[in-house]
Structure 1
């Protein structure tokens, strides 16, 4: 029995004693939700580095230190943990990665985490964390990824966080944060702030961005600054209060999704590049999905958007004729969704004898024309096939 105790005591000495106590505090502040047994392995009569789930250690100077901590099993469908995050997390001074799996952990994010100078990744998403994002996080100069999405955080985004020198991924979506957005100088590639309450204009953003979602906030002003973000592959500014025109440069980016719906954007839409459908080189500039619906856009629907796979231009003020490029793209099966309902369009060259592919969805109801028989609209479009001519006279 004595030799076993000696072995156990010796094993504990492999991990720095301050970190053992920190893990004990962290364990005391959390509990398994019914159906989870993650914390059952945290038996402090054994070496945490070799037996604790979610703990990874690295030997530095002959002593083990915790370098990765993943709280919760991470197995899909497991219920995760409840409780709070202990301030003793800040005592794991060699920590490089901190993750918390989805669960019901509540309370504030400890300020003490900001003392972890080697920390490169923080993932605390899908819990019930509240309070504000600590301003002390501005000191985390090594952090590359920060994800606290799907929580109940409030307050503003600290200016220092937006300037972290190594931060490339910032995900704060699905919280209740508010206030104006700070200037961003971090080398961000992925920025997701959707579903918060941020207000004011879009500030200067880094040209390194490839993914940007600011959807479902209360942002105002123009979106002209997007013209400089030439690396964008995904852009979602939907459900805000943006005004002014759409920068034509956006349509030249290699974007998979361009989502600008439900704003107050106005004026004609200019697409700089409109290649021939039969061009010998492939064209990748127009996104697979373009949604400009529910704005105040005018003029003719831009023919250059015919190369999108799904195109939503409904509920605007487009007039004139449907570009023949749209019709040809539908007939060829390239344009799979075309919504033009609730505009002021007066003409379309689509004979009733020309069938559309079964994979194509086309709606042009409630315009200044009689919809062709190929038009098949969602139920919520309404029952009126065409606009009253009195509404059309000002557009033609």
Structure 2
């Protein structure tokens, strides 16, 4: 036997032994994935992907018996430049795959439609790349999927309605994309606890029953959403974080919202109107209601909030004494009341506000105006014109 024939036979035997360790379909799928992706300069993730060895020992590949169950593409360490190229449709041949992630990098092109064939998939994370195109509607058929993270990409089009019907889905991250259309109903996504859709171009209103009471974290900021949300919000009594800022929501803010186990409430830069009337003392750490159309008296129930932004509204009357007491005791760190129609505050002009606290009362109807340190964007005018105060 000549040398060429010997080495050819040796290589074929070696390849057969490797394929004997891993399912042949999985072996071929990994080969296709490797051909379509490359290390960005500074990354050496694929250096261990030598197909003459056992693929179950490759970086990012985890197996159970002869099947790949987890595929984590790219070096997860901080500062890694990631990978470039396109995601190959052959990923769907990894039939036992339960976990698929891609580190931040420069992967571009669409998500393969074939992902919907991964019936065992529980975690899908392809964030902070350059993925474009639409979200495959077939993802909604993956009944075991619990987390979808496609945030910080260039995805466009609508969110498939099927995504809102996934019974095991608990975390959905689609923020910082170019998604449009309405927010689909998630009323039957009974396990959903975290929904992040901020920084898109979503529009339309939110029906009262469109989101499940299971939600703990809801972020819809920086969209074009409209209409009232009071009936919707009263159902979400498990929320600990709510951000609806920078939309066009209208109507009242429900009093019940302030009794929820929230730590952060962001409703600024909308068109909410009417009075703000919490029933009990508010224990939320940060409440931002600025840049709305809220009116009436400032409720003393808000004096227990550590960071309170009520500026740029239409509040009237006196600032309750409980705010002054809390402010001087350093219980309030930020109290922004500028650009309202407030007429007074019972604070001694010589009182020293703690260094850790900030009070801004600029551009109200107080005569004489109370001098306070305000942020630069509060403007230069210290007092509202008298004709505007005769309301």
TM-score range, shorter chain: over 0.9
Report the 3-state secondary structure (helix = DSSP H, G, I; strand = E; otherwise coil) of the residue aligned with 1:307. Answer: coil
TM-score normalised by L of structure 1: 0.93
Report the 3-state secondary structure (helix = DSSP H, G, I; strand = E; otherwise coil) of the residue aligned with 1:228. Answer: coil
Name which of 70, 73, 79 aligns with 2:72: 70
Maintained 8 Å contact 1:192/1:214: yes
- For 1:106 and 1:272, locate their aligned partners in 2 and report how far apart those are by CA, in whole Å: 51
Matched, 1:361 2:358: yes
Range that drifts further, 198-207 or 71-80? 198-207
Deviations 1:234-257 (A, max 9, x none): 000000000000011100011010
Deviation at 1:153, TM superposition (A): 0.3
TM-score normalised by L of structure 2: 0.94
Q: 1:28-107 counterparts in 2 under 5 A?
A: 28-50=35-57, 52-59=58-65, 64-107=66-109
Name which of 183, 188, 192 aligns with 1:188: 192
Deviation at 1:7, TM superposition (A): 5.7
Number of residue pairs matched by the alignment: 378
Report the 3-state secondary structure (helix = DSSP H, G, I; strand = E; otherwise coil) of the residue aligned with 2:390. Answer: helix
Unpaired segments ≥5 residues, structure 1: 275-284
- For 2:261 and 2:193, locate their aligned partners in 1 and report how far apart those are by CA, in whole Å: 15
Deviation at 1:12, TM superposition (A): 3.3
RMSD over aligned CA atoms reads: 1.4
Distance 1:4 1:350, change over 3 A: farther
Deviations 1:118-174 (A, max 9, x none): 000000000000001001111110000000000000011111111101000001000
Maintained 8 Å contact 2:14/2:52: no
Report the 3-state secondary structure (helix = DSSP H, G, I; strand = E; otherwise coil) of the residue aligned with 2:265. Answer: strand
Deviation at 1:328, TM superposition (A): 1.1
Matched, 1:19 2:31: no
Maintained 8 Å contact 1:12/1:46: no
Q: 1:1-396 counterparts in 2 under 5 A?
A: 6=13, 9-50=16-57, 52-59=58-65, 64-184=66-186, 185-186=188-189, 187-203=191-207, 204-224=210-230, 225-274=232-281, 285-369=282-366, 370-373=368-371, 375-394=372-391
- For 1:29 and 1:301, locate their aligned partners in 2 and report how far apart those are by CA, in whole Å: 60
Unpaired segments ≥5 residues, structure 2: 1-5
- For 2:147 and 2:223, locate their aligned partners in 1 and report how far apart those are by CA, in whole Å: 22
Report the 3-state secondary structure (helix = DSSP H, G, I; strand = E; otherwise coil) of the residue aligned with 2:161. Answer: coil
Maintained 8 Å contact 1:196/1:216: yes
Deviation at 1:353, TM superposition (A): 2.1
Range that drifts further, 194-203 or 335-344? 194-203
